[in-house]
Structure formats: C-alpha cells, structure tokens
Amino acid sequence: MAKTKGKATKERAPKRGGPTEVPVNVVNILGKLYAIEQKVPQVHEEKWFGFADETGQRIVYTSEQGPDQCRDTVLHEIVHILEQQLVCGLKEREVSVLATGLYQIMRDNPELMEWILEPL
C-alpha cells in the first residue's frame, strides 16, 4: 500500500507476464482493430520505443523500457493513429506532449477515470 495525501491506496501490480507487457492484444480505435505487439529490438537498431503501423493495423512497442514508459509509448502510438484518422495535422512533438499529459492525468486521477469510464 502506498500513501497518497493521507489515504492508503493499493499499488497496481503488473499484469500478464511482466512490467512492460501490455495486458491486451488488440485495441479498438474508432471502429478499427489494431493488434498490440511487443518486439525485442535488434542490437544494431537505433533506440526506439514504439511505432504505429496503420497499414498493418498494429501498434508495436519495444520490450526495452520500463512500465511507465511502456504505457506512455502505447498511448503515444494510439494518439498517432487518432491523429491520422481524424486528420488533425499534429506534429510529433504535439503528439508526444498530448500523450504524456493524458497519461499523467489518467495516473493521477483514478476516481475521475472510473467516472469517465462508468457505463451510462
């Protein structure tokens, strides 16, 4: 248990396999299904965290990152797909700050996230 502003909260344990393994294999983005795949980067490759393959309808993330960075990466790639499908014209920096900001809001406000996701 962790303490947050005088309240005890449960720590979230990693799910399915390990700290950088996403617990789902597919995500629905605006009615299209995208596979979520983990890849071990090759030694000779430049450092990367993830990419969105719209043609192949998949999100690929590297196993070479910690749990927070992995979550941020997958959300970053989802924002890229949204940006492409909605034709927003966002630049890479804008995608990055938007994804990181949304991720932090979700992490810091679990009660708000429960309310937003509550069935209507």
CATH number of the domain enclosing 97: 1.10.10
In a domain, 117, yes or no: no
Closest Cα to residue 87, out of 28, 35, 30? 30
In a domain, 42, yes or no: yes
What is the number of structural domains in the chain?
Answer: 1
| 89 contacts 61 by C-beta, under 8 angstroms | no
What is the domain range of residue 61? 16-110
- Per-residue pLDDT tens over the stretch 55-113: 999 999 998 899 999 999 999 999 999 999 999 999 999 999 999 999 999 999 999 99
- pTM for the whole structure: 0.80
In a domain, 104, yes or no: yes
First to last CA, the chain: 31
Q: Which amino acid is at 28?
A: N
In a domain, 40, yes or no: yes
d(CA 95, CA 75): 10
In a domain, 120, yes or no: no
pLDDT: which is higher, 13 or 55: 55
Quote the tokens at residue 79. 């924002």
In a domain, 65, yes or no: yes
In a domain, 49, yes or no: yes
Quote the tokens at residue 61. 């993330």
- Three-state DSSP class for residue 62: strand
